[in-house]
Amino acid sequence: MFDKTLAELAGGLAAGDFSSLELTESCLSRIKSQDAAYNSFITVTEELALGQARAADSLRAAGKAGMFTGLPLAHKDIFCTQGVRTSCASRMLDNFIAPYDATLVRKFNEAGAVTLGKTNMDEFAMGSSNESSFYGPSRNPWDTDRVPGGSSGGSAAAIAARLVPAATGTDTGGSIRQPAALCGITGLKPTYGRVSRYGMIAFASSLDQAGPMARTAEDAALMLKVMAGFDPMDSTCVEQDVPDYSASLNDSLEGLRIGLPKEYFADNLNPAIAEQVQNAVREFEKLGATVKEISLPNTALAVPAYYIIAPAEASTNLSRFDGVRYGYRCDNPVDLEDLYKRSRGEGFGDEVKRRIMVGTYALSAGYYDAYYRKAQQARRLIQQDFIQALSEVDVIMGPTTPQPAFRIGEKTSDPVQMYMEDIYTLALNLAGLPGMSVPCGQVQGLPVGLQIIGNYFAEAKLLNVAHRFQQATDWHTQAPASIKG
């Protein structure tokens, strides 16, 4: 049962091969017996899950089951879940029991999904390795000495280890796509505004977006249908109909125009990864696609622009953590300033403090034009590159990451080196475009991700392209050798 996709499990539930309770108990028992090796969960919500599974089975018995009824999944611990600890992997929120559900959580609950627990992540989603978690790093099931990527590393590791069939993630600069690539799973970052951010703890509000993580594009389509849509509680959520993403999965790719940005195949890229990506592109040619080289000339601006905009917005968003209304409070504050400074100094980890300080500096008097305004102008140039390219091609393809999964501890002493991990993913968040990562090969036994980028609200096209690739190849079915039945 543990090796089935959401679509297969939905079929099994509908056919009465097993109940949601049996499925949920099986997932919980795998998490309990195996997650010590991966540390992919911060909280396992056993009681909640069993209750939801029983309710799902009753609904099914009454003939009222929907597509998602009784399917288990996990939520990244950045999404508020009423009555359940929501820590954002920070000491600051280690004691925080969310008083309400994020819209995305509510939608999955209403669809009848079963919440198995809350997954590990980089603290406040700031990181590319899951090493900044207050609860310790999650580990990559393909090699537990290596990182699963981040920030949605726990979600990716849990799926790769077959502890859960699917999980939610968030992506501010690559936090769904990069861990998906490093763990050999499928992840989608939707268009900015496609999925509500209400109840998703804010990092950089003009970049943050939630999305599905699963083993297949088919499953990601099922999840996105539940997640997407207008929400009056998020003022940046877009009022636009949600298509049936599953309906177009099998559309022909005959005549699909693929662009390969030459800047994504330059010096920084591991040649073995380049080869795997080129092999994947040849598969698309066999499926009828045409390929041409394109240019995104402002690619080099993405990392510097991102590391102004994201920390600036983070420093503003994280000012709400003041030790007064919720979260960590220091012992015996002598006055209000001491309360603020020590609660924040003790409650936040190293990387979070570093980004708050970068953002504070960039926004401080006299520096705004030189940093934040300049970065927003660079952001416009980056967006124009994509708009130009997407007028000539239907999708853009390239590597998701420059290297396969690196060793735990390898990059922790040098933040700038860690930031370069996201050189191919950051630009999409700045432009607000949707993108996917799908497994497309292996390098020295470690998974490689193919990034597929589309136009605004072209999620159905991305899922179609990814699904056809997964019908023609079997990289997405490969499992780490270490996983046990």
Partner 1 sequence: MALERSDVEKIAHLARLQIREDEVPGYTQTLSDILALVDQLQATDTTDVEPMAHPLDAVQRLRADVVSETNQREQLQSVAPAVENGLFLVPRVIE
Residues labelled as active-site residues? 76, 151, 175
Site for partner 1 in 110-129 (CB under 8 A): none
Site for partner 1 in 253-312 (CB under 8 A): 298, 300-301, 303-305, 307-308
Place of tokens 């000491």: 91
Per rule CB under 8 A, is residue 370 in the interface with partner 1? Answer: yes
Per rule CB under 8 A, is residue 364 in the interface with partner 1? Answer: yes
The sign one gets for the Cα dihedral 322, 76, 405, 399 is negative
Site for partner 1 in 198-227 (CB under 8 A): 206
Select from 170-178, 195-203, 234-242, 255-263 the region that touches partner 1 (CB under 8 A): 234-242
Q: Would you say 38 and 163 are in contact if contact means Cβ atoms under 8 Å apart?
A: yes
Q: Which residues pair with 210 in a beta bridge?
A: 170
Q: Which is nearer to partner 1, 247 or 324 (CB)?
A: 324
At residue 165, φ and ψ (nearest 5 deg) are -80, -20
In the complex, the smallest distance separating the C-beta of residue 392 from partner 1, rounded to whole angstroms, is: 21
Q: Which is nearer to partner 1, 96 or 124 (CB)?
A: 96
For the record, the structure tokens of 253 come out as 């790719």
Q: Which is nearer to partner 1, 238 or 260 (CB)?
A: 238
Site for partner 1 in 173-192 (CB under 8 A): 191-192
Please name the amino acid found at residue 328.
Y
Size of the site for partner 1 (CB under 8 A): 74
Site for partner 1 in 331-360 (CB under 8 A): 333-342, 344-346, 348, 353-354, 356-358, 360
Who's near 94: CB < 8 A, 6+ residues apart? Answer: 85, 87, 134, 328
Site for partner 1 in 400-419 (CB under 8 A): 414-416, 419
- Interaction pattern, residues 378-397, with partner 1; x per rule: CB under 8 A: xxxx-x--------------
Site for partner 1 in 443-462 (CB under 8 A): 456
CA dihedral 126, 150, 188, 84 (to 10 degrees): -70
Number of residues that this document lists for the chain:
485
Select from 151-159, 276-284, 328-336, 463-471 the region that touches partner 1 (CB under 8 A): 328-336
Who's near 77: CB < 8 A, 6+ residues apart? Answer: 42, 43, 86, 87, 88, 89, 118, 119, 120, 121, 154
Q: Centre a 10 Å sphere on the Cβ of residue 407 and count the other Cβ atoms it contains.
A: 12
The sign one gets for the Cα dihedral 43, 47, 50, 55 is negative
Q: Which is nearer to partner 1, 365 or 481 (CB)?
A: 365
In the complex, the smallest distance separating the C-beta of residue 170 from partner 1, rounded to whole angstroms, is: 16
Per rule CB under 8 A, is residue 38 in the interface with partner 1? Answer: no
